[in-house]
């Protein structure tokens, strides 16, 4: 290893500025851990004229990727610019040029992680991506190292800071969805296209990464059932509150007898559930292991310095591997083949809000449909709407299979006495 480690930084936005700042402010601690100075020598941006809120210590700023990828002096590439197809090409080139890679890019890792990891190993290079899941929480490291002895059976958590920020502000302050989304963008939590956040795709990418690592099984984005928060209304949140629940965008990955389910969806949790107390851009992930039992990881899931901490910690790992001469030899591929559960094997409770005709016979028609689908009620509430001939019926079911629930939902939507199904959500936690 040379007397200095040189880093090429791709991207100088929210995360990139945090990386520059930590590397410069924590130089003494970094040098102590890795035994030599670390310097960002080149930085790639889109717009060289833009004002930057950090002093990048004489690093060369370029808008030409080749200035970084072909520089023989650069040992490690930190990719914090985002993007998928062209970024994949750039990182493949970097790895083939013998450069180690650290990335925060979950879009890329969820789609091309296995390919990139394979090419990294073939070229004796490291590829680390701690920041790609749950920002500053060391969740990937915990799964790969801290819990390496265990067999993980379930991971459940809040893995998107933007949507947690939005739901928190809507619930606690009654803010409008649009206003809070704008705030989350200004604070640097949201993706450049926030659709990925609010429609659950960002969380799905993270859950695919977590499931792949936790279950040692190649789980892809297409294997994740995804629903976002864009259709959640204030009245849904008010009903949840009245019933003793809060709403969170929950990522769930479960394994039973070698078969897995992975989902992301707005979910009701009892207010007493520990995940109900995770607010704003904070994330938390419960990990259940057969031997360890229940563990919970909590911390900031988005934002400049928290995310950059994960990136620079990966940088330290890469430098330690260089020093030990084990670069590219620390990662194994999945142990198991991917086996997904069928809908009749996926169990949950559900919340349903129905607008029904307020007339004799309605209640019986609704309840007999539930009974014929073997779905029973845990809670049932009928609220007449003043001045209208309709009432709202709120149901929380007992556990049922996704197959039964979907068949019931279809029949309910066809029933004459039901004007509309206003909303439906999964319910987790409790018994």
Ligand X SMILES: N[C@@H](CC=O)C(=O)O
Shortest Å, Cβ 108 to Na ion = 15
Residues in touch with ligand NDP (CB under 6 A): 11-16, 44-47, 50, 80-83, 104-105, 131, 135, 188-189, 191-192, 302-303, 307
Shortest Å, Cβ 285 to ligand X = 12
With CB under 6 A as the contact rule, the residue among 43, 121, 302, 352 that binds ligand X is 302
- Would residue 169 show up in a list of annotated catalytic residues for this protein? no
Question: Closer CB to Na ion, residue 43 or residue 134?
Answer: 134
Tokens of 99: 């450069």
The position carrying tokens 């849904």 is 236
- Residue 145 DSSP code: I
Residue 130's binding partner out of ligand X, Na ion, ligand NDP, none, with CB under 5 to 8 Å set by partner kind: Na ion
Annotated binding residue 10: yes
Counting DSSP H helices and E strands in the chain, the numbers are 14, 17
Annotated binding residue 14: yes
Among 25, 77, 80, smallest CA distance to 55 is for 25
Shortest Å, Cβ 190 to ligand NDP = 8
Question: Closer CB to Na ion, residue 137 or residue 247?
Answer: 137
Question: What is the residue-wise DSSP string for 342-379?
Answer: PGGG-EEEEEEEEEEE-STTHHHHHHHHHHHTT--EEE
Distance CA 42, CA 387 (A): 68
Question: Closer CB to ligand NDP, residue 65 or residue 356?
Answer: 65
Question: Closer CB to ligand NDP, residue 266 or residue 303?
Answer: 303
The 3-class SS string of 1-47 reads CCCCEEEEEECCCHHHHHHHHHHHHCHHHHHHHHCCCEEEEEEECCC
Sign of CA dihedral 121, 124, 129, 130: positive
Shortest Å, Cβ 203 to ligand NDP = 12
With CB under 6 A as the contact rule, the residue among 197, 236, 261, 428 that binds ligand X is 197
The position carrying tokens 């833009």 is 50
Distance CA 269, CA 405 (A): 19
Question: Closer CB to Na ion, residue 144 or residue 292?
Answer: 144
Distance CA 327, CA 305 (A): 26
Is the separation of the CB atoms in 268 and 240 below 8 Å? yes
Beta bridge partners of residue 248, listed in sequence order: 267
Annotated binding residue 315: no
Annotated binding residue 16: yes
Residue 80's binding partner out of ligand NDP, Na ion, ligand X, none, with CB under 5 to 8 Å set by partner kind: ligand NDP
With CB under 6 A as the contact rule, the residue among 214, 301, 306, 328 that binds ligand X is 301
Find the catalytic residue in 42, 99, 154, 206.
206
x/- binding map, residues 105-144, to ligand X, per CB under 6 A?
Answer: ------------------------------x---------
How many CA atoms within 13 Å lie on the side-chain side of 97? 19
x/- binding map, residues 150-189, to ligand X, per CB under 6 A?
Answer: ----------xxx--------------------------x
Tokens of 91: 């990182």
Annotated binding residue 271: no
Annotated binding residue 349: no
C-beta atoms surrounding 246 within 10 Å: 24
Annotated binding residue 11: yes
Question: What is the residue-wise DSSP string for 381-403?
Answer: EEEEPTTSSEEEEEEEE-SEEHH
Shortest Å, Cβ 76 to ligand NDP = 16
**Which residues of the chain form contacts with ligand X (CB under 6 A)?**
135, 160-162, 189-191, 197, 202, 301-302
Binding-site entries for NADP(+):
10-17
Positions marked active-site? 206
Binding-site sequence positions: 10-17, 106, 191
Write out the binding residues for NADPH. Answer: 106
- Give the residue numbers of the binding site for L-homoserine: 191
């Amino acid at each position: 290893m040379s007397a200095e480690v040189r880093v090429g930084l791709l991207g100088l936005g929210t995360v990139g500025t945090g990386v520059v700042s930590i590397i410069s402010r924590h130089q003494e601690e970094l040098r102590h851990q890795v035994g030599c100075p670390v310097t960002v020598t080149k930085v790639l941006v889109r717009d060289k004229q833009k004002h930057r809120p950090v002093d990048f210590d004489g690093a060369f700023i370029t808008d030409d990727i080749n200035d970084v990828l072909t520089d023989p002096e650069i040992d490690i590439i930190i990719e914090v610019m985002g993007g998928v197809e062209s970024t994949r090409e750039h990182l493949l080139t970097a790895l083939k040029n013998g450069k180690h890679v650290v990335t925060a890019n979950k879009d890329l890792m969820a789609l091309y992680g296995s390919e990139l990891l394979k090419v990294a190993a073939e070229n004796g290079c490291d590829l680390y991506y701690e920041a790609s899941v749950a920002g500053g929480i060391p969740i990937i490291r915990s799964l790969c190292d801290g819990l390496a002895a265990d067999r993980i059976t379930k991971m459940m958590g809040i893995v998107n800071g933007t949507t947690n920020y939005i739901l928190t502000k809507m619930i606690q302050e009654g803010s409008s969805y649009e206003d809070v989304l704008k705030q989350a963008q200004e604070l640097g939590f949201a993706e450049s296209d926030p659709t990925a956040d609010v429609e659950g795709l960002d969380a799905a990418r993270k859950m695919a990464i977590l499931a792949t690592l936790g279950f040692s099984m190649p789980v892809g984005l297409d294997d994740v059932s995804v629903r976002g928060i864009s259709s959640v209304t204030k009245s849904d949140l008010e009903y949840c509150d009245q019933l003793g629940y809060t709403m969170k965008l929950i990522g769930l990955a479960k394994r039973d007898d070698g078969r897995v389910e992975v989902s992301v969806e707005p979910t009701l949790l009892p207010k007493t559930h520990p995940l109900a107390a995770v607010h704003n851009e904070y994330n938390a992930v419960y990990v259940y292991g057969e031997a360890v039992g229940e563990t919970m990881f909590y911390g900031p899931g988005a934002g400049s310095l928290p995310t950059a901490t994960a990136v620079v910690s990966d940088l330290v790992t890469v430098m330690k591997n260089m020093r030990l001469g084990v670069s590219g030899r620390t990662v194994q591929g999945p142990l198991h083949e991917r086996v997904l559960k069928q809908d009749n094997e996926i169990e949950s409770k559900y919340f349903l809000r129905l607008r029904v005709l307020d007339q004799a016979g309605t209640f019986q028609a609704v309840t007999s449909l539930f009974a014929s689908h073997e779905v029973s009620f845990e809670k049932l509430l009928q609220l007449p709407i003043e001045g209208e001939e309709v009432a709202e019926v709120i149901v929380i079911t007992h556990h049922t299979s996704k197959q039964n629930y979907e068949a019931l939902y279809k029949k309910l939507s066809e029933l004459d006495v039901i004007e509309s199904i206003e909303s439906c959500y999964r319910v987790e936690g409790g018994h």
